[in-house]
Structure formats: C-alpha cells, structure tokens
Chain A
Amino acid sequence: MVLSVTIFVLFVVAVLWLSLYLARQASSASGYFAAGGNIHWGVNGIAFAGDYLSAASFLGICGLIATVGYDGFLYSIGYLAGWIVALFVVAEPMKRLGKYTFTDALDSKFSSRGIQLAAGISTLVVSTFYLIPQMVGAGVLVKPLLGLPHAVGVVIVGAIVITIVASAGMTSTTYVQFIKGAMLIFFSLIISIAVCYRGLSTTPDQGGKVPFHEYAIIDAKVGDAGQIVPADGGYQVEAKHTGANDALYLRLKNGETANWWKKITGQAEGQFQLQEMASVTIAADGSRFINGKPATGENQQLQVGNLTQIQGKTGDEADTGPVGPFKLFAIIDDPQTTVRQFKKETSFSQAGYSITLFAPVDTPGNLVLRPGLKTKLESGTWMERLDFASLMLALFCGTAALPHILIRYYTVPTPAAARKSTIVAIAAIGFFYVLTLYMGVGAMVNAVIDPTDNNMSAPLLARSFGTVLFAIISAIAFATVLGTVAGLIVAASGAVAHDLLDRYSRLELNDRQKVAIGKAAAIMIGFLAVILGIVFEGMNVSFLVGLAFAVAASANLPAVIMLLFWKRTTSQGIVASILVGVITSIGLIAFSPEMYVQYGLPAKQALVPFSNPGMVSIPLSFITLIVVSLMTNNTAREASGEEVTA
C-alpha cells in the first residue's frame, strides 16, 4: 500500500513538474512555437494519441467491456472510426481554407456576432460535457489506491487543476503528451500479455494473492409456523425484504456476519435454496457495511467476475494455463463457457439503513463476445436497435467535431508530416483499442471487478498483477485526467472570456481584464466540474464521453461540413444549426432512460425512448442548416438587389 502510494505520488508529481517546466520553456522562448515544426512526425503522432486517449478510453471502455462484453468494444471501434472522418473529410479542406479551428473557420467567412455567440456556447457546452467523465474518472482512481471516497478524489483533482490554471496556466506540450501516450500504450500491452500468460480458471485467485470467494448457496425450507429456516442451524433469519416480481431477500446472521441472501429455486413443496449476494449497506451515520461486515481496510468490496465453466469443464481440470491472443477469445466465445458477473439487483431502505444488493448473473460465452448484452439487439425493439445505430453514428461523427482534435494536425509544417503524424496516431490509438478488449475481458474473468463501479476494472486488473504495475497505471491515468481537465477548463474559460465577453459582447477588455475574467471563469467552471463529477459517480465514463461526442457531433459537425462543401451556407443557417444541435442533443439526453435512472426514477418512465441522441439531433442540425440557409440566402440576395432566379 505504502509502495503503491509512493510510486503514484512520485509519478504524478514528475508529470506535473514536466508539464509546468516545458510550459515555461514554451512561453519564455519565442522561437519555441516555430520550432514546433521540427518535432518528428512520429513523436507528434504518439502525442496525438496521448491527447486523445483520455481517462474515458482506459477506464471507461475497459470497464464497459468487463461488464457488458463486446458492447463496450463498440466504443473502441467508433472512437477510432471517427479519425477517418477527421483525416479524410475535414482536415484537408479546412487546411485549404487556411483556418484551423471550428470557430476560426466559421468566423473568417462570415464575421458574424451570432456565430461568435453560438460557437462560444457550443465550445462551453462540449467542454463541460467532456469534463464530466474526466472528473468521474478522477474519483474512480483514488478510491482503490488511496482508500479515499469518490468525492474526495474529484475534489483533489478539481483543487489541483483550479490552482494550476488560475495561478500559472498550464499547457500540455507535445513531449508530455508523447510520454503519457507512449506509457499508457506500453503498460496496457504489458497487462494484456499478462492476462494471456495467466490463462483462465474457474477459481481465479489473482495470481495467488487473493483467495477466490465462492458466493455460497445453502438449502432452506419453510418451518411449521411459516417461518423460513436455513438447513444449516448456524444461520438465523434477521430480516426480510420483498422486491420486484415477488423476489424474496433475507438477511441471515452467521456469527459476526449478517449478509443478504436471495431465494433462488423452488424444489420440492416448501423447500428452496438461498444464494448469497454481494451487498453494500450504508447506515444513517454514513458508516458502511460490506457483505454484512463493517467496511475496514481489510473488509473491502469483494471483487467479482469469473468463469463458472470453461469449454464444459469445471474445477482444476478447467484451468487453461497460458493461452495465445486468439485462443483467449476463442475459449471465452465457446457456448460451453459460462461467464459469471454480479449485477445490481435491487436497492431499498430498511430500519434506517440504505441497502444495495448485487446478484450473480450467468451468461454463455458466445453471447459475451458479440453485441447484445447492453444494446439489446436481438430481443430488443426497433427503437432499441436504432439506439445502437445512434451511438455508432455519434461516435463516428464526434471526433472531427471536437474542437481540440484537429488543431494538432497543423502543428507540423508540411502536409506530408501532418498526415504521417495522423497515421502514427491512428496506428497507436488503434493498437490501444485492440488492447482494451484484452484488458476488459481479462477484468471480466479474473475476479477483479468492483460491482459498485465498473470504471475501476482496468486499474484493479493491473493490481491483480502487482502493486507496482497498479501504481504506475493509476498514476498515468491520473496524470492524463489532470492534463485533460486543465485543457478543458482553459478551453471553456477561453470561450467565456474571448468568444462571449470580448468578441460577442464587445466589452473592449484590455489584456489584464481578459486574463482576470478568464481566471474567474476557470474557477467557476472548475467548481461546476467538481459538482458534476460527484453527481455522476458510478456512471460509466465511456458512456458519458459518448454523450459528449453526440453533443459535439450535433452542434459542430453540420456547420463544419456544410461550410466546407456547400456554397449556399449562410451565417444564420450555421447559428441555427449549432443552437438546434446543442439544445436537441442535451434535451434528448436529459429525458433519456439512462438519465432517469440517474435521477432515481424508473427508466420506463423516460419521455425519450432511447439514450443516444445522435440519430435525431445530428440530422436535425443538418436539416436546420439547409432550411435556414435556403431561406436566408434568398433574403440576403434580395436585400443586396441581386436578381433571384428560380
């Protein structure tokens, strides 16, 4: 524990120091920027990867794959495919236009205050949406490492970043991003190789470090007075709860432990079995009980996730030993392999305690490595299938619409070097995304998943291979969060100070006032990010990034594409499309089933029947731009006295 915390702190401090040192070098040497052109395209390419692979990629995708299998890998596929849109469609024409950012390109052609307002709002909204998963990721990282609650982790990151941004400013230079990107990919490769080398077992014990905990099943019957009597006299029934569909849960006391069990099968009349559950109980004074015992340094959430049979075998004879990279997937994909996961089954309050219960769910292996566990493709309605298409559309379109992605394409002087950088980036990011499937599946079957928060799966998988690996990988992820959060806060505060107040409101601010307003905005946005990071605890960070992509794709992509490829685009059309994109995407998210669960309401009551808004909001934004442009094009021509022809 001490070793891992020391390595973690040293690593984070080293990365922070390097960032600040290189940032100072950058600002003091005026020739530095021009020298940016001398950076080798290979270094720049890996830096691209360091920029793009935020906490969401490492924590979120691995966590999703660990809990919903292939459905999580869809994010990897979509995120990478988005680079194709950026490289093939947007980059070259934008370069020809001579402008490098979304706002610059739009503004240079029309110089419209409306566009400045809309682009400023859009940058602010997209940055804030992108901030949420990063802050949630920060909370996730400190929980297993430092033993601190989620909220404390979020506040620590918020405090560090706000201090840095508001006092010194912070730039993540190419070399810092290069180091982070390269290390993340290298250590992910190490973990993936370790997963294959360890092989598969029905009783994974984390390399002998943590004994495998088999959740017990005991016999019970109904007694003479109608009471429930476990066959083993050591268990006493303390309390019971009836959940949805008449599911019966019992709290059984056994020595010092008082855990929850679920009635699972009816055999003969009056006889049934009880399945032990994973449980988290929180008392009114905030004290926590895990699986029926007080939470202490020793009694932490028992990690879950294993195979109950491997290609039809159980017990010791099922152990595979080291397996090849293809064999690993082939074994798990076998219908005779069964994956056991623990999923949240119910939560309720009783006698002043708030109780959450997690039950084992067995899934045949052939359903794990294909879409369907989360996306409901086979059994789902057409609306649920469209939800899937909507997600894939948003991921495909989102990358090119993120304000910060295209900029690095232009930091090397020759088009050839820029393209080569992008190809290195695609290779590095693609390779990392392939590794996510190994890490996610590895976490799924190695009893390392915390059932209360799947975001921790990859760091906890690393911990099962040793504390040093765990500390290094957590530190890399934490440093990535710090860099990304700092960058987003700077971008968002820049949108407030530069786009909204200075240019749109024309407040005629001098440089000192601009800096002061920028810092005040950074502090406010930092506080907002901390609050959002706490509110969204437990939600998968990659899902949240998917939403940020949907907002970016709806707000920005139609404006960029139409500006580049449709001559009749007008400034009014662009403003309308950005605003419609922002409002509809956020509106659809706010009333979606996933958000209703977050509000504590049943998902079925949601006003919008799908969770991914892209399928509606992206086309709507395009249509708005076309209709408004056509309407205002004629008006503009009439106003200028030009003859309007049919």
Chain B
Amino acid sequence: MLHQPAAPSGKDPASPYKTVLGLWMFLAYALIYLGFVLLNIITPKTLETKIIFGLNLAVVYGMGLIVVALVLAMIYNLLCEKKEKALAEIEQQQPVQQKAEVR
C-alpha cells in the first residue's frame, strides 16, 4: 500500500471549472443517495415492490446507485476532457496572436 510519490502535474487552467462541475455532480449523486436512505427510513416496505425482471426496488435502486456512480464519473470525465482541450487550444492560439500583434 505504499505508493510512488505523486507525479508532478503542470499548469491546469481547467481546474476552477472542474471544481465547480465536481461539486454539482456530487450534489446530484448525493441527492439520489439521500433518496435511497430516506426511502429506507420512512417507507422501508416500498422497497419490496417488484420493479423489473422480478427484481424488487431495493435491488434495483442499490445496483442503480453503483451504475449511476459509474455513469456520472464517465460524464464528468468527458466534460473535463472537453474543457481541458478547449482551454489548451486557446492557450496555443494566444502566442500566435501575440506574435502577430508584434509584427
């Protein structure tokens, strides 16, 4: 469980965007998770309801929480990559513009 030291990372202009995006996605997942906890506390019998393929709500919601975590993580990755790419392109264009202004 000992690990290599962290690999140094360069400048990351997308960082503020990723922080805000992460918080929103956390909030979305936390609400779904909270829904599960409240359902258990307030009306546990509801979880016996059959939903699909003969599976009850407890199994579907529980497995769903695992799948939704993965889906949200993938969406988060896609959005972060898109932003990182866009900002990297802007950064690449800036020196060209500056050179043009000097001429």
Chain A interface (Cβ within 8 Å of chain B)?
A: 26, 32-34, 36-37, 51, 70, 73-74, 76-77, 80-81, 83-85, 87-89, 91-93, 95-96, 100, 170-172, 174, 326-327, 329-331, 333, 366, 369-372, 375, 377-378, 385-386, 388-389, 392, 396, 404, 407-408, 410-416, 419-420, 422-423, 426-427, 430, 433-434, 437, 483-484, 486-488, 490-491
Give complex CA distance A423, B6 in Å. 19
B65 touches A423 (CB 8 A): no
Given A80-B65, A92-B15, A423-B73: A411 touches B1 (CB 8 Å cut-off): no
A-B contact pairs, 19 of them (CB 8 A): A26-B4, A70-B58, A88-B76, A93-B19, A172-B2, A333-B50, A333-B56, A369-B58, A370-B58, A388-B40, A389-B37, A396-B30, A408-B3, A419-B80, A422-B73, A423-B74, A430-B70, A483-B1, A490-B1
B22: chain A residues at CB < 8 Å are 87-89, 91-93
B41 touches A377 (CB 8 A): yes
Interface of A is mostly: helix
Q: Which residue of A lies closest to B15 (CB)?
A: A96
Given A326-B55, A423-B77: A37 touches B7 (CB 8 Å cut-off): yes
B77: chain A residues at CB < 8 Å are 416, 419-420, 423
Least distance between B30 CB and chain A CB atoms (Å): 8
A326: chain B residues at CB < 8 Å are 53-55
Give complex CA distance A171, B1 in Å. 6
Given A88-B76, A326-B53, A369-B59: A407 touches B6 (CB 8 Å cut-off): yes
Interface of B is mostly: helix
B36: chain A residues at CB < 8 Å are 77, 392
Interface centre among A385, A486, A488 (most CB of B within 10 A): A385
Least distance between B86 CB and chain A CB atoms (Å): 13
Given A371-B44, A377-B44: A81 touches B29 (CB 8 Å cut-off): yes
Q: Is B102 an interface residue (CB 8 A)?
A: no
A89 touches B26 (CB 8 A): yes
Question: CB-CB contacts of B24-43 with A at 8 A, as 1s and 0s?
Answer: 01100110010011001100
A73: chain B residues at CB < 8 Å are 62
B8: chain A residues at CB < 8 Å are 413
Q: Which residue of B lies closest to A490 (CB)?
A: B2
A412 touches B7 (CB 8 A): yes
A371: chain B residues at CB < 8 Å are 40, 44, 47, 58
B1 touches A488 (CB 8 A): yes
Give complex CA distance A171, B15 in Å. 32
B25 touches A76 (CB 8 A): no
B70: chain A residues at CB < 8 Å are 423, 426-427, 430
Cβ contact of B44, chosen from A174, A331, A372, A483, cutoff 8 A? A372
B73 touches A87 (CB 8 A): yes
Interface size class of B (residues with CB under 8 A): 35 or more
A433 touches B66 (CB 8 A): yes
Chain B interface (Cβ within 8 Å of chain A)?
A: 1-9, 12, 14-15, 18-19, 22-23, 25-26, 29-30, 33, 36-37, 40-41, 44-45, 47-48, 50, 53-59, 62-63, 65-67, 69-70, 72-74, 76-77, 80-81, 84
Least distance between A25 CB and chain B CB atoms (Å): 12
Least distance between A561 CB and chain B CB atoms (Å): 11
A487: chain B residues at CB < 8 Å are 1-2
Given A84-B72, A329-B54, A378-B45: A33 touches B40 (CB 8 Å cut-off): no
The 6 closest A-B pairs by CB, nearest first: A487-B1, A330-B54, A410-B6, A88-B26, A88-B22, A326-B53
A420: chain B residues at CB < 8 Å are 77
Least distance between B25 CB and chain A CB atoms (Å): 5
Q: Which residue of B lies closest to A79 (CB)?
A: B66
Give complex CA distance A140, B55 in Å. 33
Least distance between A35 CB and chain B CB atoms (Å): 9
A410 touches B54 (CB 8 A): no
B2 touches A410 (CB 8 A): no
B58: chain A residues at CB < 8 Å are 70, 369-371
Extra 6 A-B pairs, beta carbons < 8 Å, given A377-B44, A408-B3: A92-B15, A100-B6, A172-B2, A370-B57, A388-B41, A416-B84
A93: chain B residues at CB < 8 Å are 19, 22
A70: chain B residues at CB < 8 Å are 58-59, 62
Least distance between B101 CB and chain A CB atoms (Å): 31
Interface centre among A26, A32, A92, A488 (most CB of B within 10 A): A92
B12 touches A366 (CB 8 A): no
A84 touches B1 (CB 8 A): no
A484: chain B residues at CB < 8 Å are 1
Give complex CA distance A70, B62 in Å. 9
B80: chain A residues at CB < 8 Å are 415-416, 419
Least distance between A390 CB and chain B CB atoms (Å): 10
A413: chain B residues at CB < 8 Å are 7-9
Least distance between A195 CB and chain B CB atoms (Å): 15
B15 touches A430 (CB 8 A): no
Cβ contact of A33, chosen from B5, B48, B84, cutoff 8 A? B5
Cβ contact of B26, chosen from A36, A84, A172, cutoff 8 A? A84
Cβ contact of A327, chosen from B2, B33, B54, cutoff 8 A? B54
Give complex CA distance A408, B7 in Å. 10
Least distance between B47 CB and chain A CB atoms (Å): 4
A433: chain B residues at CB < 8 Å are 66
B69 touches A83 (CB 8 A): yes
A430 touches B69 (CB 8 A): yes
Q: Which residue of B lies closest to A36 (CB)?
A: B4
B56 touches A434 (CB 8 A): no
A385: chain B residues at CB < 8 Å are 41
A333 touches B54 (CB 8 A): yes
Q: Which residue of A lies closest to B7 (CB)?
A: A413
A174: chain B residues at CB < 8 Å are 4
Give complex CA distance A388, B38 in Å. 10
Give complex CA distance A491, B1 in Å. 9
Given A84-B73, A396-B33, A423-B73: A95 touches B15 (CB 8 Å cut-off): yes
B84: chain A residues at CB < 8 Å are 415-416
Give complex CA distance A331, B70 in Å. 28
